[in-house]
Amino acid sequence: MRVAVEEKVLSENDKLAIKLREGFRAHKVFALNLISSPGSGKTALLERTLEALPKSAKVAVLTGDLQTENDARRLLRAGFPVKQITTGDTCHLDANMIGKALADWDLGAIDTLFIENVGNLVCPTGYDLGEDAKVVLFSVTEGEDKPQKYPAIFATAELCIINKVDLLPYVPFDLAQAIANLRRVHPGMEVIETSCTKAQGIEAWLGWVERGRQRALGG
């Protein structure tokens, strides 16, 4: 019975996600779904991203969290549209939440939408948000076996960001092994190594986003 209920929930979500995707494509919006465990650095990465963009950039952010609007307050400092989605006891964002959050935004004024999902490597994986791509993050403080422990998200994400690489001299993290573990789950997956405190890898990340934006624009 539980499986049937879950299938119905996902089916309804997928229908809404199709509508979201149609809206994104009609307005040529490049939508990204950022997924990681808590503390991997999604918000810090978005801070560095927004700070690096020109003020004329047509960028917006939806950020999900169980409680508080702390992340939205941090991101708003860059001057771009940001909206917090507080999920309460729900450990993921879903298409209905995204649709409601976007209801009073003009998609025509946006060409890149960052969706910062709730910190969790399991629950968000199965929920389509109408995005063009999922991006999975994990940090060097979490262990190089993350791709093996949570293979579903690493198998479905288009890009993996390994964050906090400035801490490599201080933690027992084998970067080469982490990438090897990732390749076993998702051969050929693109990887970007970042440090938000040192701005390392941010240019490569911005380049990846820009290429996706150009594809959405048809360029």
Measured distance CA(204)–CA(167) in Å, rounded: 19
Q: What number is the average pLDDT over the span 105-127?
A: 96
Name the residue range of residue 113's domain: 2-217
Measured distance CA(121)–CA(43) in Å, rounded: 16
Is the pLDDT score of 2 beyond 70? no
Q: Calculate the dihedral angle through the C-alpha atoms of 76, 77, 81, 87, rounding to the nearest 10 degrees.
A: -10
Using a pLDDT cut of 90, give the percent of the chain over it: 88
Q: What pLDDT, on the 0 to 100 scale, is given for residue 6?
A: 58
Cβ(21)–Cβ(115) below 8 Å: no
Query: How many structural domains comprise the chain?
Result: 1
In this prediction the pTM is 0.94
Is the pLDDT score of 3 beyond 60? no
Residue corresponding to tokens 């490569």: 204
Q: What pLDDT, on the 0 to 100 scale, is given for residue 4?
A: 52
Residue corresponding to tokens 């990732």: 182
Q: Which of the four pLDDT bands, split at 50, 70 and 90, describes residue 173?
A: very high
Measured distance CA(147)–CA(178) in Å, rounded: 8
Cβ(34)–Cβ(135) below 8 Å: yes
Q: Is 190 helix (H, G, I), strand (E, B) or coil?
A: strand
Q: Which of the four pLDDT bands, split at 50, 70 and 90, describes residue 10?
A: confident
59-65 β-sheet, strand order: 82-86, 59-65, 112-116, 30-36, 133-139, 159-163, 190-193
Q: What CATH number did the domain enclosing 200 receive?
A: 3.40.50.300
Tell me whether residue 75 is exposed, middle or buried, using C-beta atoms within 10 angstroms of its C-beta: 0 to 12, 13 to 18, 19 or more: buried
pLDDT digits (tens, 9 = 90+) for 34-64: 999 999 999 999 999 999 999 999 999 999 9
Q: What number is the average pLDDT over the span 66-76?
A: 86
Q: What is the full DSSP assignment across 108-158?
A: GG-SEEEEE--S-SSGGGG---S-SEEEEEEETTS-TTHHHHSHHHHHH-S
Cβ(163)–Cβ(135) below 8 Å: no
